[in-house]
Chain A
Amino acid sequence: MNFTYDDTQHAIRDLARRVFTEHERHKELEAAAQTFDDELWSALGSTGLLEVDGFLDQCIVLIEQGRTVAPVALWTRYATRRDATLAVDGVAADDRAPEIVFVRDGAVFVAPTSVLEARRTTAGAEYVVDVSGGTKIAMDPSDLLDRAVVLRCALGVGIAERALEITAAYVGERKQFERPLGSFQAVQQRAANAYIDVEAMRLTMFQAAWRIDQALDARREVSIAQFWASEAGQRIVGTAQHLHGGMGSDIDYPLHRYTVAMKEIELAFGGSTQTLARMGALL
């Protein structure tokens, strides 16, 4: 598999990049205490991006979303392949969609979002949901969860890629000791390691995505992608933050959103230690 984009994929990437970039407005949303960007959501609808259905194409769109850490729960819609949100371990990313999908006792259930007690948590856009009710639907739970994991990994690739770009630009500009920070080898080597991590995340993600797309057994590849997204993802945003010095702690600067979003990617599926344990069981 050669994971370079073909012409159609380039077109999807370009469109997605344009839509997400045009709607990058975190401060405005935060000031209004909005955790979901409605305008972006309708732009995704009107440009057809909500309806993208090839799995690889969906991953490409999510990389672009990750680049702007846009607050919409697109991945749950792609994973469930219906106008629904997905709850994992009783936690859902939003309660906008008319339905909520979840896995219980090895089967997939759906329920109208309204009947569930969705409770906003102080962390922001997470909802704790009661998943005891619902109607069973014919969907393979492991396929659903595999897709969800890989879509989140794709988000992570975009987050990581952009965080590193922002960082490279910053250390290229900022001078200390009469020279750009980026000219110190300690800085260069850390940044170069982060680049290797980003590419490893991208390749493991696309490897898993490709197998899912081809309806091949992807359990192992999904776990590997998830592990990289968890471990390498943390290293990358850690590096990005560190190379910014004090600026990395200032929430007037955009970087903190990448750090927090990346931690959520890791935690949504139980943390990297859990992932390793699951992977061990598969080998």
Chain B
Amino acid sequence: MSLDEVRDEARAFLSDHFPKWRKENNARGDLDFEQQRSWQRYLYEHGWGVPTWPIAYGGRGLGMLESMVWNAEKVSAGAHTFFNLVGLGLAGPTIIARGSDDQKARYLPALARGDEVWCQLFSEPSAGSDLGNITTRAERIDGGWVVNGQKVWSSGAAESDRGMLVARYDTSLPKQQGLVYLLADMHAPGVDVRPLRQIDGGAHFSEVFFTDVQIADDDLVGGPGDGWSVAMTTLTNERMSLGGGFGTFAMSFDEVVDIARRTGRIDRYGLVDIYARRTILDVLNNRVQSKLFAGQIPEAEGSVIKLLMAELGTLTADVAIDALGAGGMLAAEAPSAQQRFLGSHAMHIGGGTDEIQRNAIAERVLGLPREPRPDKEVPFKDQLRS
């Protein structure tokens, strides 16, 4: 399908169905969580629930640019939500790429329909940028695993049904090798979710405690020891969905121009800068798309896009707030700009920080020597001792 065809079809679909759905469901104003879920289900039933997934799993096999066109149409129709971003953008693609047939059959339909919401249980208090430092234990028992430990900053955990969990099963192996990737049931006995409050006023992330939580072998992705590499698959998808979603994360260009026009504080340089950066991101996404078509995995581009995206988010929020002047402080007058400003720092952190992305570019693209990592080959238990 050409981009124009996608745009036409998307536009026709949304202008016809979204108002109808709103009316039937009595959904006015911003959609709440359950309304978002029901809109997701409606989209799925009409073939638009997971457009980037392969056709075999209910998707349309849309490429990145096409899906951006679709997202942009959703935004301008007011029909865009961030419903289960982690599940649809991270868990689904990971299961598609690395899961067993049984896992695909059990989880993908419920995900696509909006029945089950997922979260990402990677970070721990002592494992942030150093994800390999995970200490949550997965002990082997007959037919499965028993998990004990703590996760942190888990977005959406309080609303989630399932989680992608990385845990350590063997401390005699070096840090990145002794890990398993498990699909956890968030409603299982022993899972305790405690919401944390965030700077932008939301409570989007949580601490999650595991006490003797049992997970069956059927929910192990790959084999024991594949934990790190499956986690990398998830992170690549995360960079893609954070980076590629720029049309939706940052405030739209028109929105900022509107504010500037309204207040008369027109920072031409700032506006032009935003416009130019958006254009560059477009082109980059295009390039990623062609790589994907050629069957290559665009790893470094993911880092570049994620970095540019975070900068764009910060710049856009700054220019918008600046244009609002003293009124920018008044939440009532600028809910969107203010929230995005407060949330914009997180874009430089979540999904791998700026520094970690830059390290990846320096090492993988420029071929610079890696920083010495004495911990990498040492059995994890010896590292703990030192």
Contact = CB atoms under 8 A, between A and B. Distances in A.
Interface centre among A89, A121, A246, A270 (most CB of B within 10 A): A246
Contacts, number: 120
Interface centre among A123, A242, A271 (most CB of B within 10 A): A271
A245 B353 CA distance: 8
A248 B199 contact: yes
Interface residues of B, number: 48
Interface stretch (A48-56, A132-140, A261-269): A261-269
Contacts of A187: 355
Interface residues of A, number: 39
A176 B129 contact: yes
Nearest to A272: B322
A273 B265 contact: yes
B133 A122 contact: no
A88 B326 contact: yes
Contacts of A242: 345, 348-349, 353-354
A263 B330 contact: no
A186 interface: yes
B322 A271 contact: yes
A178 B329 contact: no
B270 interface: yes
B199 A259 contact: yes
Interface centre among A89, A176, A234 (most CB of B within 10 A): A176
A126 interface: yes
B129 A178 contact: no
A202 to B, nearest CB: 23
A263 B341 contact: yes
A271 B331 contact: no
B198 A121 contact: no
Contact of A251 (B198, B321, B349, B350): B198
A260 B342 contact: yes
A241 B330 contact: no
B199 A126 contact: no
B358 to A, nearest CB: 7
A177 B130 contact: yes
A249 B346 contact: yes
Nearest to B322: A271
Given A176-B130, A267-B321, A271-B321, A122 B153 contact: no
B38 interface: no
B326 A252 contact: no
A121 B354 CA distance: 35
A31 B78 CA distance: 36
Interface in B120-139: 123, 126, 128-130, 133
Interface in B278-327: 314, 318, 321-327
Contacts of B328: 263, 267, 271
B375 interface: yes
Interface in A155-195: 175-178, 184, 186-187
10 contacts: A88-B326, A121-B332, A122-B332, A184-B355, A186-B355, A245-B353, A249-B345, A250-B199, A264-B329, A269-B326
Given A176-B128, A274-B325, 20 more contacts: A121-B331, A122-B332, A123-B338, A177-B133, A241-B345, A245-B353, A246-B153, A246-B205, A246-B349, A249-B346, A250-B199, A251-B197, A263-B328, A267-B321, A267-B328, A267-B329, A271-B321, A271-B324, A273-B267, A273-B322
Interface of B: 123, 126, 128-130, 133, 152-153, 196-200, 205, 265, 267, 270, 314, 318, 321-332, 338, 341-342, 345-346, 348-350, 353-355, 358, 373-375, 383, 386
9 tightest CB-CB pairs across the interface, nearest first? A271-B322, A176-B130, A122-B331, A246-B153, A256-B199, A178-B375, A273-B267, A121-B330, A89-B326
